[in-house]
Amino acid sequence: MSGAEPSQPRPLDVVILAAGQGTRMKSRRPKMLHEVLGRPMVAWSVRLARELGARDIVVVTGHGAQQVEEALRESGVRFARQEQQLGTGHAFLTATQQLQGGADVLLLCGDSPMIPLSTLEALIAAHRGGQNALTVLTGELPDAAGYGRIIRGEGGEVLRIVEEKAATPAERAVREFNSGVYVMDPAAPALAAHIGNDNPAGEYYITDLLALYREEGARVAAFKIADPGEVMGANDRVQLAELEAIMRRRVNEAHMRAGVTLQDPASTFIHDTVKIGRDSFVAAGVHLLGGCVLGEGVQIGPYSIIQDSALGDGAQIGPHCIVTGSTLAPGGVVHAHSVVQGAQMASGSDAGPFARLRPGTVLEPGVHVGNFVETKNAHLASGVKAGHLAYLGDVQIGPETNIGAGTIIANYDGLNKHRTQIGAGVFVGSNSTLVAPRVLGDAAFVAAGSTLTADVPEGAMAVARGQQRNVAGWSRRYWRGLGEQVAQKLPWLAAWLSRQP
């Protein structure tokens, strides 16, 4: 007969304190919404709570509550409004009204996004393994000014946490500080109701929970981390920039260790949500933002910005490109100074320089989109060439068709968009306008300079332009009619007119 099954650990609830005003930010935006590496500070804490498998996540809001709650609306967290900021103990008690009970409670600060998941996992494991009632995350600094101090007994046990405002000179000299992160057992919500405000600031401190637990005879412990930078917060924009630099370095180093070459990590910005395949090369000044997914062997040129895009194996992005919401198939190429938005490029197709591929664009293999060509909701079949100065909107173009320089698909009538269908092997001459909706059959030919207002059958040539005629002497009569204006503004033309009969 087998032994008893091991008991399951209690569930974990997470409370995130995000009610502070952050006056040192000098901003109309709530402190918690200032971003670190593309994500609001408080959202980093929410993410950590999710990764820990938290049952309930409660965010305490106060200053700018509506903005903070709106920013986190899609995250599935609960909110507790702290209408008056009366201290961390009061904020925690406000949050406990949203908790189901019966769980360990992790308390996080919304302005400390640097804590690694591994540190929190180790903290929780130490708390549960040591059968602690409360475990506080601590660190050590040469000068811990601004932090609460950890006061230990002769045996190393944690006796109390002293806020700096209430600390004696000897206590201020203590180097071990309180990070503001705690794990507590299910008794914490009930004990929090007994926190008082008999202190110089008249506030309710969450640190007073320690004394309440000790009065109950419960075990209180500290979990000390080696790197105090892990609990670094941001109270002003200088510290915010420091957080950004640290987080960016972490993300970049992780990619490099996974087999990605970053030419200049110091100038490269990569959101933590980006995935990059090995043997990819990212040049200096590149920004990879949002939900980008890069395959293996991708090449990104200097100072390009790629956002919410998927680049297949071997895709190449030239310098100074902007690619947003796009899909580039394996082997696809985007040249310098191009903008790609919501487009799909198959292997062997290319665009630019100075091309703009807007949402709904699909380039099949072998397509060439050249200088100053703009596409929108356009499907170009294999072998289509549009080399220069064209606008191709709401159009389906068949294989091996050539679009001449200056061609415009006039898809908008001032009220509605209309679609054009161009067959295979069509030749559209330079400076032509196709007034949508139009259908051009296979192998049709459009003479240069034509404006089409009717369909072109298969194999036919369309000529839609006025017949040229030259009117002799017109220029002389016109300019002489302007008299003194020509003499004053165009002396070279006045001299020419004086020589004409």
User: Looking at the annotation, which residues are catalytic?
Assistant: 388
Question: Please, are residues 422 and 395 in contact by the beta-carbon 8 Å criterion?
Answer: yes
Which residues touch 483 (CB under 8 Å, ≥6 apart)?
Answer: none
Residue 465 and residue 162: Cα distance in Å, rounded?
A: 88
409-412: long-range pairs with CB below 8 Å, 24+: 409/434, 409/436, 410/434, 410/435, 410/436, 411/436
- Reference 77, options 119, 102, 108, 34; nearest CA is 108
CA distances from 376 to 176, 190, 305, 353, 357 (A): 60, 61, 20, 17, 6
CB atoms within 10 A of CB 179: 27
Question: Please, are residues 48 and 137 in contact by the beta-carbon 8 Å criterion?
Answer: no
Instruction: Find the Cα–Cα–Cα–Cα dihedral 125, 13, 224, 42, rounded to 10°.
Output: 130
Strand 281-282 vs strand 299-300: parallel, antiparallel, or unpaired? Answer: parallel
Which residues touch 24 (CB under 8 Å, ≥6 apart)?
Answer: 235, 236
